[in-house]
Structure 1
Amino acid sequence: MKENKLKVSFFVQAKRTDKKGLVPVIGRISVGRTHSGFSTKCKTPLTLWDSRKQRLIGKSSMAVSVNQKLGECTALIHARFHELSERKETFTATDVRDAYQGQIHCQTLLLESFGEYLTLTKERIGIDRALKTFKLRTYQLSLLREYVQKKHKVSEIPLSQLDKAFIEGFEYYLTIDRKLKRS
């Protein structure tokens, strides 16, 4: 796997000055060759912004609080980047941004959900599930895991990324590549 480098930078949008003379501070995450922007929800006077240091100049209460917020953003983004690099093989700047904004933690993963379903099925063997059903579902999970790893080149995929193309691709993989018959 190629090592991804993370860079977090901040800039102001001078063209979006509000009535009080404040401009929004925008963040930019770069991972490898991918980029993603996000709002820091901070506003600052354009005269206090140092574009080289990407921070506010001075020791005013506004400068200290905005600089502290930008430092916290950077630290949290780096933490989310390290979490993703431990968990996934490949990811983009958008994935890091989503993790930073809390969108990725609530996502349910396909193979993880299937594994939980199998655990529940195993507990129900002899009650309202047959052993043959459990073995069939285990085989289906192995086929699905194989498909995700070979065709999508990831170890896990969020349920939110499943679409018609994924389902048709999986069907094609089973019937053409694996030569399994439809039932």
Structure 2
Amino acid sequence: MKKENFKILFVIKLYKLNNKGVCPINVRITYQGARRENATGYFVEPKLWDSKRQLIISNTSDALNTNAHLELIKQKIKNSYLSILLETDDFEANDIYLKYLGKPLKESEFVVKYFQKYLDKIFKLIGKDLKLATWKKYNYACIQIVGFIKFNYKKNDISLDKINLQFLTEFEYYLKTEQNQSQSTINKAIQRFRRLISIAIAEGFLDKDPFILYKAKKVKKEIVFLTHEELETLEKTQISQSRLSLVKDLFIFCSYTGLAYYEMSNLEKQNIQIGFDKVYWIQMKREKTERQISIPILPKAQEIIEKYSTDNNRIFPLISNQKFNSYLKEIADITGIEKRLTHHTARKTFASTILLYNDVSMEIVSELLGHSNMVITQESYGKVVQKKVSEAMISLSVKLK
């Protein structure tokens, strides 16, 4: 820290002039633009105080004694400043005064240190209440915070009480400009950091929530799914290459079940059960939310299960998500489908073309997709419903002409 940021000044408090004609002398510590002012216990006649020379202009023994004590106070505060400077680079004017008084400094928790302790704590929950993938996401958020603090503050860490609205907006700006991240990725990072801040508030390290006035920028998500005609084109296209034929079948299967990649690749015979309605259902836990999902198997999905059914317990041959999406690009070229196909497109197709466009309610869609709550479904597929309403109204307008 630069010494010019630190200053000690004695000031007299004229408004506290007593009936003896003297007023108190206060000591004011200024550091990094912030002040801490306290009484020294000494008094002076206002006309005898020289503010420039910082002393009492008098040769009386009382005046000389007071001047000596003021100089001693000044020197002790300087020593306290130099001492605390060796201990840490994150302190305030109040900390200097506490050091001068010989009192312990206010206990501060630091952002990176606190984040790392949180990561160590939740790491023990992996395989119990937490997925390794979730822990990695929080760990990545911590790495982003470390990078930002070094970039913005030129420090390895800062105290938690320095987190405010300005910190959050500058962090967002850093991720966007220096890390070149999309708004949706930025929102995820801040969401995870917000979780940490909520815990810090609950544990008493922060008095107020710095997120109160912070508003994340909304991201307009375009739901990419296959229309009925595009799905039909895909189903009818004959593909000779076995690797592409497999991926085509698996994509169609997920378009009629809504299974995510992990659930599809780990589907086993024990997950196929006859339900109360004498129909086959897929019964399993969703990897992302740990929610139990129950999906009735539609005829086209059943055909694909039977096509790949062997003596093995696993239903489908293993294929990595990366290869799956890579092969889908080739399939899109073969079929003439111009949309960017990924495994997730099949899940979106199930929700939109198979369910919502066939008048299945949003509540049932949410249940079949295994969403943790209805809000997620509404935010993702609300526009699909609006489009269907619009099409219905246009059709009705034509009939009423």
Instruction: Give the TM-score normalised by the residue count of structure 1.
Output: 0.67
2:145 paired residue number: 144
CA shift for structure 1 position 39: 1.6
Q: Kindly provide the amino acid, as one letter, of the partner of residue 18 in structure 2.
A: D
Cα distance in 2, alignment partners of residues 65 and 118 from structure 1: 55
Say what the alpha-carbon RMSD is for the aligned residues. Answer: 3.9
Asked if residue 12 in structure 1 is aligned to residue 12 in structure 2, the reply is: yes
1:179 paired residue number: 180
- Tell me which stretches of 4 or more aligned residues in structure 1 moved more than 6 Å: 55-60, 63-67
User: Where do 1:11-90 residues align within 5 Å?
Assistant: 11-14=11-14, 16-29=16-29, 36=35, 38-40=37-39, 42-46=41-45, 52=53, 54=55, 71=72, 74-75=75-76, 78-88=79-89
CA shift for structure 1 position 66: 9.8
2:154 paired residue number: 153
User: Which structure dedicates a bigger proportion of its chain to strand?
Assistant: 1
Cα distance in 2, alignment partners of residues 40 and 106 from structure 1: 24
- Give the count of matched residue pairs: 175
- SS at 2:3 equivalent: coil
| 8 Å Cα contact 1:118/1:134 also seen in 2 | yes
User: Which deviations, in whole Å up to 9, do the C-alpha atoms of 1:5-62 show, x marking residues without a partner?
Assistant: 6553434334541234331212133569x57451225242438x775574898777xx
Larger Rg computed on CA atoms: 2
- SS at 1:178 equivalent: coil
User: Which deviations, in whole Å up to 9, do the C-alpha atoms of 1:147-174 show, x marking residues without a partner?
Assistant: 1121233332233232223212212222
- SS at 1:151 equivalent: helix
Cα distance in 1, alignment partners of residues 49 and 157 from structure 2: 41
CA shift for structure 1 position 99: 0.8
CA shift for structure 1 position 146: 0.9
Q: Share of identical aligned residues, percent?
A: 17
CA shift for structure 1 position 144: 0.5
1:99 paired residue number: 95
Moved more, 103-112 or 160-169: 103-112
- SS at 1:24 equivalent: strand
| 8 Å Cα contact 2:34/2:92 also seen in 1 | no
Change (3 A) 1:41 1:106: farther
> Structure 1: any 5+ residue segments left out of the alignment?
none
2:125 paired residue number: 124
Q: Kindly provide the amino acid, as one letter, of the partner of residue 163 in structure 2.
A: L
- SS at 1:157 equivalent: coil
Cα distance in 1, alignment partners of residues 42 and 36 from structure 2: 16
| 8 Å Cα contact 1:109/1:159 also seen in 2 | yes
Change (3 A) 1:59 1:167: same
Change (3 A) 1:179 1:69: same
Higher relative contact order structure (alpha carbons within 8 Å, sequence separation ≥ 6): 1
| 8 Å Cα contact 2:25/2:41 also seen in 1 | yes
CA shift for structure 1 position 143: 0.9
CA shift for structure 1 position 179: 2.0
User: Which structure dedicates a bigger proportion of its chain to helix?
Assistant: 2
- SS at 2:181 equivalent: coil
- SS at 1:40 equivalent: strand
